[in-house]
Amino acid sequence: MHVHLTDDLKFRKSSYSTTAQECVEVADLPEGAAMRDTQNREDGHLAFPASEWAILLGVARREL
């Protein structure tokens, strides 16, 4: 398990976010991505390996 400090990550608003109330931010990791809730940044983030991130994006694209 890799630990990434939130301060070291460069988060950006996800292109899949819809409104100011439903925003998530993503950051690139060397081998995957991290995601956090814009309104609750202090709660930390979830990190995904590249294979799981690709599956998550595939599902999100089908739901749009």
Provide the domain limits for residue 41: 6-63
Give pLDDT tens digits for 1-52: 455 566 679 999 877 676 666 788 999 998 999 999 888 888 889 999 999 9
Which residues have a Cβ under 8 Å from the Cβ of 57 and sit 6 or more positions away?
none
Type of residue at 53: W
Number of domains in the chain: 1
pLDDT given for residue 20 in this prediction: 63
Average pLDDT across the chain, whole number: 83
Residue 46 lies in a domain: yes
Does the residue 1 lie in any domain?
no
| Residue 1: predicted pLDDT | 46
